[in-house]
A = this chain, B = another copy of it.
Amino acid sequence: MPVSFAGVLPSFERTREPGAVMRVSGVPDCYVTSMRKASRRLTQLYDEAMAPSGLRSTQFSILAELSEPTQGPPTMGELAEVLVLDRSGLGHSLRPLEREGLIEFEVNPDDRRSRIVVLTKAGRDRYRQAHELWRSAQERYRSATGAAEADELRDRLQAIAHDDRLA
């Protein structure tokens, strides 16, 4: 089977002859399955590219959000919401970053139940370093799928991520 699917993998691909390299699931119609597969693939691409920085995709996303916040350092709850992450899960994900001194916690003076997450200088530096590698991954993906396609897909994914009708 050739490299490209021309952007589409129709259902009838299921019935390709034996001997072909690829196997296609009997449930090619499942939206979440294809989403998760694509997510894993893309994550592999980015993680590999950013490996020299010691940051993975998730960690990069977190530092990115902290690096360019829209309205000052966020609380954990706010950060979890933006990242579409479970609050507990975010807590766990922040642990390694804290351990490495890339982020710090501060008690929120406005509400002492919550804590504010702030980027340290080390965190900023690491983010900048990873950013270079991140860019190369972006370019790789863009050139493989086409810039316009890539951007349109990303916008659609963002809409899904924040679509309250799915929550």
Residues of A within 8 A of B (CB): 3-10, 14, 16, 18, 22-46, 57-58, 60-61, 64-65, 67-71, 74, 78, 81-85, 134, 137-138, 140-142, 144-145, 149-150, 152-167
Shortest C-beta distance, A69 to chain B (Å), equals 7
Copy tally for this chain in the complex stands at 2
**A159: which B residues are within 8 A, CB to CB?**
4-9
**A162: which B residues are within 8 A, CB to CB?**
5, 9, 22, 37, 41
B163 touches A25 (CB 8 A): no
A to B CB contacts below 8 Å, 28 in the list: A4-B159, A4-B165, A7-B156, A9-B155, A9-B159, A9-B162, A10-B155, A18-B71, A22-B81, A22-B82, A23-B81, A25-B68, A25-B82, A26-B70, A27-B68, A30-B154, A31-B42, A31-B138, A32-B42, A38-B158, A38-B161, A40-B85, A40-B161, A41-B162, A41-B166, A45-B166, A45-B167, A144-B166
